[in-house]
Structure 1
Amino acid sequence: MMPRRLFSLWVMIVTLLLAGCAGVPEKEVVEEKDPVAEAERLFASGEYRSATEAFNQLAKTAREPQQTNLMLRTAAALAREDRVHQSRQILETIQLDPNNTQQQFLLKLTRAHIALMERRAEDVLRMLEQPPADGIDNAYLADYHLLRADARTILGDRVDTASELVKREEYLQNLQLIEENQEAIWEALAMMNERALARMRMAVGKNVLGGWMELVQLAKAHQLEPEILNRRVDEWHKSYPDHPVREEILKGLLERSREDIIMPQRIAVLLPFDSRFGKAAESIRDGIIAAYYSRPHHADQRIRFYDSGSEPATALAAYTRAMTDESDFVIGPLNKEAIDWIADKGNFPVPTLALNYSLEQDVPDNLYQFGLSPEEEARQVAERTWLDGHVNSAALIPSGNWGERVYTAFQQRWKELGGVVIETQQYNAEQQDYSAPIQNLLNINESQRRARALRQLLSQSIKFEPRRRKDMDFIFLAAYPQQARQIRPQLKFYHASDVPVYATSHVFTGSLDQERDRDMDGLMFGDMPWVLAGSTAHRGLRPEIEQYISSAGNSLQRLYALGIDAYNIIAALNTLKAYPYERYDGETGSLSLDPQQRVRRELTWVKFRSGRPVALDEGL
């Protein structure tokens, strides 16, 4: 039993901590037979602030040992609110019964929640390595497996993530939680490509997890073939008659009718052929044509190309002509200003897939956006490095507009996640010697100044080896191949060979050149499956049409891939919109649709090894 003085102290601490939660919207009163179960439901649903309040209120009137259990759950909920310091404060006030297995297990869970919020994924798995003892409540067992799943997600182990979620479901009773859990299983496995799922499923076997893997694999293989998909799902159901998949998920697969994914008959493509972006326009056009001929299509389907020129007004005129020609779907335009110009002049009358991202926040319902934005790639660098457990970053960027845009996108996303940029240096991309900005980035110049001051003070020669700063977790590098091949060796020269370096796809030409790219060994970057087809298990269109790629497509091959996906994803847009956990495996990445109808690309992450990119994660 907790001494009254300690309990009073705990109540005072929690009351003060929760005082900062003023303004939380009142929840609709729901009568529950078990208020503790309702608090656990809030916690399991991710409503951590409401769970904190619920556990705290229950603890005030509870008796031991339930009182201590609720205090531990309050601390866990505070940790998940990212109030780790307050969570630790509560743990310091609690005296546990060393013989109470449940309390000892809850203490372990709470510490694991703290470690997870600090992104110490390996520590979470180490803390939860031993299986729970008999007699632990189902809610705590579900939390145990969710913690392990979250840690596996951080580490990029998608099959293990799904495995832990499958185990978690055994302890869930709330139907909404079960549905959300199954969508999370699907989302984890959908991040893997079809071939990787088939390969790894063989190792898993014919169990619940194997059933999930096979179902996701079928959905990927026949995403745009509803009749075949329905037949294969029926066969799957016969093979897994007792599989716990919810009917809503199967229904979502089986009800994807031909009408939902039908290709429009008259497609207009708006591209700036007569402009300085003419070569880019030709590459996108060639990709669209390649995708068109690679898929079965009706004889009456028509694609017409319109020159949108270099000015927004010209693009609007091209869009108007496409409407006069009774087009029922539009791909383009490519220019951001042109997209906004058309939007300002009125709503898009037919579904339109713009090949860039609008500068405006509020866009018409008929507008979808899809592009190869360097800013989006920079934001993905921030997200990847955050998941990798880093906090303090340094940035080395080229001077000029492109470098500023990429850095601003990275910095904003990095700060949103909670990261810190401790140093930023610009370099002149026209030069080959980047020693000055690199030394400033690493604080080598400070080390050298200290050495000079010491020599003057002692009036004698001393041995000196410059030292770099030790407070950076990684370096964000914005560069093209010519600069990256020079910068990476110079970082090593200045004693930063052990500092992880992350970059966007711009560091790679897209063509293997092991002799020249060997200097970039160790550098990590995200790129599209089309470019990395020889380095991953991606089964795409490239091997089939390599010989038909035009010279423009070779020089701007990422835009060629954009053209392929711009055509292919048309049939998947309704599905992606209706089922947010779904993804389309495209040539430019694993594609999904956000609430603003922007197509989001999940890049494939690789590292240069012996001059060639090698996949970092499983299932690629």
Structure 2
Amino acid sequence: MRLKLVSLLIILSGLSACSTTEKPTKNSDNVSNRTNALQNQATSAQSIYQLAQNRQGADKIQLLYSARDAAISEQNWPLLEKIGNELELTASVDQIQNRLYIAFAQKQQNKNDQALVILQSLDGQLTQPEHFAWHQFLTASIYASQNFPKKAAPYFFRASETATKNNIEIPQLNQNLWDNLKQLSSYALERFNRGSVIQQGWVNLGLYYQVYASSGVELDQAINNWRRRYIGHPAFSVLPEQDEMLTELAPINIERLVVLFPQSGPNERLGDALKAGVLAALDTQTINDTIFIDENLSTEEIAAQLEEIKPDFVIGPLLKANIDKLANAQTLIDTPVLHLNTFDGERISLQHYYFALNPEHEVQQALEHFLTKGYQKPMLLAPNNANGQRLVDYFNLQWQRYSETKPQIGFYNDKKDMPNTITSLLEVDKSKDRIQTVKALFKQEVENETRSRSDIDVIYILGDAIETRLIKPYLDVNVSTFADRIPLYASSKSHSKQIDSTDKGDLDGLYFTELPWMLDSQIKQHNLRQQYNSLWPEQIDISQRLFAMAYDAVSILHDIRQLSVMPGNQYSGLSGKLSVNTSGHIERMLDWAQYTNRRIKPVQLETQRPVPLFMQSAGDIQTIN
């Protein structure tokens, strides 16, 4: 979990308190008076820092200290790092504390690799408990900010143990530790259930929180037992009141549900598909009343209907413009809501969640698989439009977190442009030019075969079903026959049940991600699929996917609160394995499938959490699960 800036300002204020101070002397009083007089001439961290450049000795050091405090207050992290580096050249400065400041400033600028190098360089030098506690806390914070709770946990534990034993105050330590624990699975927690009483207390509290989440009575009893066993434990400061914890974990009781779908306008057909999914899911629920409202009504009309209905939960809207409209009017601020799209603004309520068939989820899943397989040079093929550009940009941004190599990117404008794009990327055109040059040197016929570049080790296609069926043959004929076959992958856009029903094309060997609902062999609800096919045999692909999404949206409501406070948990739905991240967005893990002999078969492809570059460069390259 990323730490809040306000919390970190408090943290560095506390870090200042652990520095070694000298007894005041007459000379130091004079220095302080001169420094105060100089500071009155400056109004910002930068101006104080500039004053320090014109001073020498103790005056300069005191001004640098003041500039450092001002930089923290202003959140001027580059300046804080610069000041720290300058103070490092002064022998009289507490170098351990100063390097902790530098590491913190680097972390705030996402220079995580540099920050970890500094923190690791301090190992063996942390003789003061204060320094050790802050060192462990900052290290844990870096891992936690990168969403590696398992890696962060041991550092959090050591920081908590040292702080408790030595009465060291580290603001936000206990809350951040607890937030980190809630992201671990029960299996991971069990592996940490050892060591000191402090560590075991934290771990057992996390286990109680998970194991008894669905039983209020048992959770209440477990927490009472924990309180008696771990009297004085630092977790008491973050342990919620029992009523609050029970409320946080209790399933939501929904008697009256409102569904906001487009029931008019150009997106009415999408609303019909969503409505069918909701109605199918309601057959398995105990919700008494479900009311459908057209999301295209005015804000005032929707607000009036909601005031009259007083729903326990709302699903929708679907369209981003309508989500923005209701968010700006705060129409749903007091009601639990599962929006059916992403939201770019600030989350206005912890009761608000966001569920979208986000293609970025598939791109992330494919990227993590590529890294697990050890691929170093991926090639991406995408349409030259806004969606293609967005997904390629996302892949590039994420890839840079884990690899120093750059993917090869090919954008095509239309089907006529595809051959040129592919031959250029694979450098087949250069091979053909070389062949022509050799032929020109000889009168007799020269046997030849084009060669494609050999460094590309995986190809990812981001086109739709028709485009993929055109691209695949071009790739087959342009890759050297004597070279290793390059694995081909695609997203769910490449798969169409409509097209597959008449022509699977020459897609043999292609891997792709897809919703379980779209893969007949992966569906557990066979009767539901049979009913759907009999009612809507000609439904287009987007309607089928929206049906699955709406079905899951209703089915997940009962557990959504627990999923949101325990991000490691998953719900297996028609649209994939679903989890809720800390910002309230539902993330999806899709199934893998492969075209084999003109048939589609499910496959299990290995995927592990990749190790970021900043951890690799710091010498910390263990596999992270």
TM-score (norm: length of structure 1): 0.60
Q: CA deviation at 1:551?
A: 0.9
Please list the CA deviations of residues 99-121 of structure 1 after superposition, one character each: whole Å capped at 9, or x if unmatched. xxxxxxx9x944969xxxxxxxx
**Residues 1:334 and 2:325 are matched in the alignment:** no
1:562 to 549, 553, 571: 549
| Corresponding letter in the other structure for 1:425 | F
Q: Distance in 2 between matches of 1:612 and 1:353?
A: 35
Q: Which amino acid aligns with 2:433?
A: R
Deviations 1:182-241 (A, max 9, x none): 14532541xx5xxxx35x666666667787666556545655654453344446667x74
Name the CA shift for 1:205/1:339 in 2 (closer, same or farther; >3 Å).
closer
Distance 2:223 2:470 in 1: 52
SS in 2 for 1:185: helix
In the aligned structure 1, how far is the partner of 2:209 from the partner of 2:112? Answer: 44
Map 1:63-74 → 2, pairs under 5 A: none
Counterpart of 1:616?
A: 607
Out of 215, 220, 229, the residue aligned to residue 219 of structure 2 is 229
Distance 2:399 2:293 in 1: 40
Structure 1 Cα separation of the partners of residues 549 and 419 of structure 2: 37
Q: Does 1:351 align with 2:332?
A: no
Report the 3-state secondary structure (helix = DSSP H, G, I; strand = E; otherwise coil) of the residue aligned with 1:176. Answer: coil
| Corresponding position: 1:424 with 2:410 | yes
| Aligned with 1:52 (options 75, 81, 85) | 81
Say whether 1:592 aligns with 2:573.
no
Q: Give me the whole-angstrom Cα distance separating, in 2, the residues matched to 1:390 and 1:78.
A: 34
Give the structure 2 partner of residue 302 of structure 1: 289
State the secondary structure of the residue aligned to 2:585.
strand
Q: In percent, how many aligned pairs have the same letter?
A: 16
Alpha-carbon distance in structure 1 between the residues aligned to 2:232 and 2:468: 50
Distance 1:280 1:164 in 2: 49
* SS of match in other structure, 1:614: coil
Q: CA contact under 8 A between 2:260 and 2:318: conserved in structure 1?
A: yes
Which residue in the other structure is 2:239 paired with? 250
Check conservation: 2:314, 2:337, Cα contact below 8 A: yes
Which residue is 1:19 aligned to?
none
2:260 aligned residue (270, 278, 288): 270
Higher mean alpha-carbon deviation, 480-489 vs 268-277, is at 480-489
1:562 maps to a residue whose letter is M
Q: Which residue of 2 aligns with 1:443?
A: 427
Question: What amino acid maps onto 1:62 in structure 2?
Answer: A
Structure 1 position 612, deviation (Å): 1.0
State the partner residue of 2:49: none
Choose from 527, 547, 555 the match for 1:547.
527
Q: What secondary structure is seen at the aligned counterpart in 2 of 1:602?
A: strand
CA 614–483 in structure 1, closer or farther in 2 if over 3 Å, else same: farther
Alignment of 1:92-491 (within 5 A): 109-110=117-118, 139=131, 143=135, 159=150, 162-163=153-154, 165-167=156-158, 169-171=160-162, 173-176=168-171, 178-179=173-174, 181-183=176-178, 185-186=180-181, 188-189=183-184, 192=185, 197-198=186-187, 216=206, 219-220=209-210, 223=213, 226-234=216-224, 241=230, 246-251=235-240, 255-258=244-247, 262-272=252-262, 281=271, 284-285=274-275, 287-289=277-279, 294=284, 301-306=288-293, 312-313=296-297, 321-327=305-311, 329-340=313-324, 347-348=331-332, 351=335, 353=337, 355-357=339-341, 361=345, 368=352, 370-374=354-358, 376-377=360-361, 380=364, 394-398=379-383, 403=388, 406-407=391-392, 422-426=408-412, 428=414, 436-453=420-437, 455-456=439-440, 461=446, 465-468=450-453, 470=455, 476-480=460-464, 491=475
User: Secondary structure of the residue that 1:397 maps to in structure 2?
Assistant: strand
Contact 1:36 1:55 (C-alpha < 8 Å) held by counterparts? no
2-side partners of 1:36 and 1:499: how far apart? 61
Compare 145-154 and 173-182 and name the one that shifted more.
Answer: 145-154
C-alpha distance after superposition, 1:446-471 (max 9, x if no partner): 3433443454467784755523274x
- Amino acid paired to 2:603: R
Q: Which has the larger radius of gyration?
A: 2
C-alpha distance in 2 between matches for 1:253 and 1:497: 61
Over residues 292-347 of structure 1, what are the superposed CA-to-partner deviations in whole Å (9 max), with x where a residue is unaligned? 565666xxx42223455xxx348986775454445454322323344455567784
Q: Contact 1:215–1:236 (CA<8 Å) still a contact in 2?
A: yes
**Cα shift at 1:592:** 2.8
Stretch deviating more after TM superposition (444-453 or 70-79): 70-79
Work out the CA distance in 2 between the residues paired with 1:366 and 1:146: 27
CA distance, structure 2, for counterparts of residue 266 and residue 236 of structure 1:
37
Distance 1:316 1:174, change over 3 A: same
SS at match of 2:453: coil
Whether 2:47 is the aligned partner of 1:62: answer no
Q: 2:509 aligns with which of 500, 508, 519?
A: 519
Rounded to whole Å, the distance in 2 between the matches of 1:207 and 1:531 is: 48
Q: Is the 8 A contact 1:489 1:520 kept in 2?
A: no
TM-aligned CA deviation for residue 519 of structure 1: 1.0
Against the structure 1 CA distance between its residues 332 and 505, is the aligned structure 2 distance closer, same or farther, given a 3 Å change threshold? same
Q: Could you say what secondary structure the match of 2:605 adopts? A: strand
**What secondary structure is seen at the aligned counterpart in 2 of 1:251?**
coil
Check the 8 A contact 1:187/1:582 in 2, yes or no: yes
Distance of aligned partners of 1:341 and 1:564 in 2 relative to their CA distance in 1, 3 Å threshold: same
How far residue 397 of structure 1 moved from its aligned partner, in angstroms, is 1.4
Q: Choose the corresponding residue for 1:604, options 589, 601, 607.
A: 589
Q: Residue 250 of structure 1 aligns to which amino acid in structure 2?
A: L
Report the CA distance shift for 1:517/1:58 in structure 2 as closer, same or farther (over 3 A).
Answer: same
TM-superposed CA distance for 1:518, in Å, is 6.6
Is it true that 1:494 corresponds to 2:468 in the alignment?
A: no
**Whole-angstrom distance in 2 between the partners of 1:86 and 1:207:** 29
Distance in 2 between residues matched to 1:48 and 1:386, nearest whole Å: 35
For the residue of structure 1 that corresponds to 2:253, the secondary structure is: coil
1:459–1:111 distance in 2 versus 1, CA, 3 Å: farther
1:372 alignment partner, SS class: coil
* Distance in 2 between residues matched to 1:358 and 1:181, nearest whole Å: 27
Deviation, 1:396, is: 1.0
User: 1:255 offset after TM fit, Å?
Assistant: 1.7
Shift of the 74–456 alpha-carbon distance from structure 1 to 2, 3 Å rule, reads: farther
CA contact (8 A) 1:52 1:78 kept: yes
SS of corresponding position for 1:246? helix
Shift in Å, 1:246: 1.4
In the alignment, is the contact (CA less than 8 A) between 1:146 and 1:168 conserved in 2?
no
With normalisation by structure 2, the TM-score equals: 0.59
Equivalent AA in structure 2 for residue 230 of structure 1: D
| Aligned partner letter, 1:424 | G
The 8 Å contact of residues 266 and 329 in structure 1, kept in 2 or not, is answered as yes
Residues 386 and 601 of structure 1: is their aligned pair in 2 closer, same or farther, counting only changes over 3 Å? farther
